[in-house]
Structure 1
Amino acid sequence: YIFFFLQGIIFLEMADENFESSQLPETREVLCENLHIKVRYLNPALADQITGILVAEKNIKDILQLLTTDSLLEEQVEQAVASLSESDTELKESLGTVLYQAVSVYEQELCAQVTGMLLELPVAVVSKLITSDKELQLAVDKAKNEYLSFIKVNGNSESNLMPIGNFTLSREKEEIGEVIYEKLSIDHTTEETSKLTGMLLQMEYQDLVKVIANPELLKMKASQALSALKIQT
């Protein structure tokens, strides 16, 4: 469908290069929608952000070139991912939601811990893990083994932070997770509660404190996480 649509657009452009100005916005919007579909295939976790970067300040011909040249699109998708800010909280939450779902396929008991560990990796690396089952499974196994090894050796440590390789897990955060789990279990099934708690634990510690102190905020965050969960499933 997309192929024939693009052929039609190219034909029209060759037949008449002088599009009426009133037609341009609509044509651009449709092209962007089709570009988003292709980007989502390459990188489902960051499709919205990447598409936004790719179409910014580009004309219709540039977007058409991306749609019709796979190698160019793949190259620019990689560049877009590399340009994303590592400190973008919203981006991290978006990645965390998708990553949690992906990790849960290979590890359920320690899903939240493993997801948190993997989210400490650069955005480009996390993005690649999400799109590669083989690499994700290897990363999950490695993170799980490092976590269990640390617990075995330092299980009785009084330290609040548990460093594992390049990762850091907070015991305080785990305690908050228990509180969140208890609160969410009132309105959700056991399976939903476990998944929602893991997703919410991807938030910063300071934000988690605010969430457990404000029932309405917790309800809103849980609702957002549940919606994202349903979209992914």
Structure 2
Amino acid sequence: MDKDDNLETLGEQLYARILPTQSEHAGKLTGMLLELPVPVLRRMLQDEAMLATAVEKAVAALQVDLPRQPSKITNKADDDESASSDSLGEHLFDLVDVYNTGYSQKITGMLLEQDKEAVLKLMSDPRQLEKQVNAALKTLKRQHAEAADVSDTSDADDTEGLGEKLFLQVEELDRLHAHEITGMLLEMDTGVLRQLLGERALLEAAVHKAQAALGTENIGILDQHK
């Protein structure tokens, strides 16, 4: 009951804001906006620009929906002309963008993979639109996380390969402390490590610095001459 009362109050406030500029369809537009989450509605009432944008998008959706009313008969050619793919895409993007997901373009593309009839129905049903937007958002976030995992694994494999090559070269310079020195050098960026592997002088300088940090510089030098 509290939720219903809350929606009724929000509806009255929205209607009062919409009526001056959209008197003919104020009730319909208010009903469409009331399908949005309550926090979004509250933000709209506090942000004139956000409310104006949402009303424009609802008007666009309403204009697409009106020719679909049973009272008006249209043939397939008229329907194709009035609801072209580009037009549908633009209207759908505007509706999806209200949810501020950060993935409006990608989600719109995903939803447009459905047939035209399904897209038109979706645009006239805010509740179903919200459900599909959330589902698409979850899919995109999961894909992003999986891509990040693959990237992390690749980086780890790359570092492991560099570590093995680096150890073999460090071992030639300081056999006794090769493990410790290699571990210290692996803290560097992979680009720097590749430079060390390609330029012996740089590697020797880096090893000397590591030996100094470990307090084993003299021991390492002695070890090289054994």
**TM (normalized to structure 2)?**
0.33
Larger-gyration structure (1/2): 2
